[in-house]
A = this chain, B = another copy of it.
Amino acid sequence: MLTTEKQTATWIWYPGDFEIWLHREVCLRREERGSIYPPFYRLDSPYVSLKFQHIYTIAESEEISIAAEGRYNVMIDGLMVPPTSGRIVLPAGEHNLIISVVNEGGLPALFVQGRSVASDPRWNVSHTNWQWVSPGSWHFNKATEPPSAYRLATFKQSYIGEEQLPDGSQLIDFGKETFGYIQLHGLSGVGKVMLYYGESREEALSEAHCETLDCIEVASDAPLEYTHHASRALRYVRIVADVGIQVRDVSLLYEYLPVQYRGQFRCSNERINEIWSISTYTMHLTTREFFLDGIKRDRWVWSGDAYQSYLINYYSFFDEAVNRRTTIALRGKDPLDTHLNTILDYSFFWIIALYDHYWYTGDLEFVRRMYKKLLGLLDFCRGRANANGMVEGQPGDWVFVDWANIDKQGELSFQQVLYCRSLEVSAQLAALLKDDTRAQELSREAASLKKQLFETFWDEEHGGLLHNRVNGVLQGGMTRYSNMFAILLDMLDEQQRELVARHVLKNDAVPSIVTPYMRFFELAALCEVGEQAYVLSEMKSYWGGMLDLGATTFWEKYDPELEGAAQYESSGRPFAKSLCHAWGAGPIYLLGKYFMGVRPLDAGYAKVLIEPTLGGLSWFKGTVPTAEDDEVSIYMDETSLRIRTGNRPAVLRLTSVIEPTCEAGTFCAIGDHRYELSLDSLQSEYVIAYRTSIF
């Protein structure tokens, strides 16, 4: 006799609420010197009262077991059926099963397992507004492993240095920036153990000013093995135990998101190789439940910071899930009454990033899920535009741009560039979702704003966009921000790009950028106009400068002029600067997109564009992921190029002083020493001869 296989059950919840709940959890884990440190921006919560519905048809009655996160009841065809020890028997036939779950403090979730009836994404859920939608779910497929138990992976990490300090305390060095739960082994005695954490040695030694500390109370009956309940960012930890307390050994339960290091890069320059490795480690530490800005501070999810992390992710882990989680969490719930993270620019970065996610992954389904949220955010932005249809800071808005001393009053050309691009990409997404009327409206709106933007801010004489206009009066100054974004977001024609590159980006008279955050965009814009050699040298000196100061991950800010521990100061606090900041990991993107030269030519890499440039290196080799399960690999030196295609056709564009050759195809000249070759053979190696220079 055949046995019918049991249906696979999975935990289900209101779609998006797992991310909303997890975001709240994660953001509330930040502590500073014993106090909770909730974010400066609004935190949303899951719906508390859900109804899960499943209309089932079974030939024979069957028993189901029910697990819920929260209190629940069961109704069959509108009548309450009280479960016994979480079990009820479903009558045969077609019936309407509704399980209500209530959870005031956490995420209401449900797991139902029967032979043929089992909770899965085909059920319905409503937050008791009687609008049924498909539930959210992930990989929680056991009743005993509910979503609230979700934790990142861990392994035990040993320290590499230990120093006995004169006062009898112990300074532990894990050798590099890391993240996790301190473990004390062989703990005994009665009293307290203080832990002073440091991203730098100086910080760990500063009881008065280290940003993070923990106090562990040890009782006489405490177990010998202790793991601290809260995870911390650190390289060093100083352990100060009361007299009579013994600690035999210390370790760290390192906590991380399991990702694959899909992007690879090695080249002729060891400094760049080190920068790439440290960038990848920095990126991994900040790629967690969500993209965090920094692991010590702010340990929160900021839309502008995340915008870079998404981009870097496409060239490192290609982990689509963390993009989606971050996108859902950042957008939060309605009604919107502030910009995302309260920052004007950050609303636009969210919109542009949503389009990028589609462009890199081709995941239109996710766009569909987010579409109402997108339109709502656009409405919010539109509702705060001024009489000219331009955005400017309204009461309660934070006009961020960058940590730089710039005028943020009135209409900033920077914000209009972001707003305009947001409208353009929204129009494209609307068209993809066949919402044609809206697509046309949005296109018109974008075109009108773009026209106004250029009429208002474009200064032909000075070759760029002016910075701002206040109460109708142009302020005359020029900054890099709007100009580099105008290049990156494809808002300039060829001639304008050249003007901007010459008059703004490579003009020392225009105030320079002070954060890796905006350096990222500046260097990317320079690559867009072919300045890879300059960018390579900047990477070596700027990121290399941090390495020279002993950085094991890249920093939130770096000012080469500062000396010693002055590097660690921020906001008037001696160790407030984050030494592991996602936006420090930009070289991954620069090297992947502008040296290896890989980017989508069609959405979701339906066609791969490969436009490699040595940019001053003698050789490089590497891999760029083009999907969660696909990639291209490239080796390049000054006379040869080898490309291994994946499962996607590609187009190679190459600059060469000779006509390049390849056994597998014929290059087509496209002018100005540039040649193009179609790489239509999948999973194939193309070997190309060419020459960078005539020497």
Contact = CB atoms under 8 A, between A and B. Distances in A.
Interface of A: 24, 28, 32-43, 45, 47-49, 71-74, 79-80, 82-83, 100, 102, 104-106, 127-131, 334-335, 337-338, 342, 396, 572
Q: Which 4 A-B pairs have the closest CB atoms?
A: A105-B105, A35-B73, A36-B71, A43-B49
A35 B342 contact: no
Copies of this protein chain in the complex: 2
A74 to B, nearest CB: 7
Given A32-B80, A42-B127, 14 more contacts: A28-B102, A32-B73, A35-B72, A35-B82, A36-B71, A37-B73, A38-B49, A40-B128, A42-B128, A43-B49, A105-B106, A130-B338, A131-B396, A334-B335
A48 B37 contact: no
Given A28-B102, A335-B334, A36 B72 contact: yes
Contacts of A131: 337, 396
B45 A48 contact: yes
A83 B32 CA distance: 12
Nearest to A36: B71
14 contacts: A24-B48, A32-B73, A35-B72, A35-B73, A35-B74, A36-B71, A37-B73, A41-B128, A43-B48, A45-B48, A45-B104, A104-B105, A129-B337, A130-B338
Given A37-B80, A73-B35, A104-B105, A129 B42 contact: yes
Contact of A39 (B40, B49, B104, B106): B49
Contacts of A74: 35
A567 to B, nearest CB: 21
A380 to B, nearest CB: 12
A494 B45 CA distance: 53
Interface SS of chain A: loop
Most interface-central of A24, A35, A36 (chain B CB within 10 A): A35
A424 to B, nearest CB: 27
Given A35-B82, A36-B73, A82-B35, A128 B43 contact: yes
A49 B104 CA distance: 15
B337 A38 contact: no
Contacts of A39: 49, 128
A480 to B, nearest CB: 29
A507 B38 CA distance: 66
Contacts of A34: 82
A129 B338 contact: yes
A130 B43 contact: no
Given A131-B396, A342-B129, A396-B131, A100 B45 contact: no
Nearest to A572: B79
A304 to B, nearest CB: 18
Nearest to A396: B130
Nearest to A211: B80
A106 B39 CA distance: 19
A545 to B, nearest CB: 30
B129 A33 contact: no
A548 to B, nearest CB: 32
Contacts of A45: 45, 48, 104
A96 to B, nearest CB: 14
Given A36-B73, A100-B38, A104-B24, A335 B335 contact: yes
Nearest to A571: B78
Contacts of A102: 28, 36, 38, 43
A261 B466 CA distance: 72
A509 to B, nearest CB: 34
Among A83, A102, A396, which residue has the most Cβ atoms of chain B within 10 A? Answer: A102
A516 to B, nearest CB: 25
Given A33-B80, A337-B131, A396-B130, A42 B38 contact: no
A74 B35 CA distance: 8
A230 to B, nearest CB: 13
B396 A129 contact: yes
A456 B34 CA distance: 69
Contacts of A35: 72-74, 80, 82-83
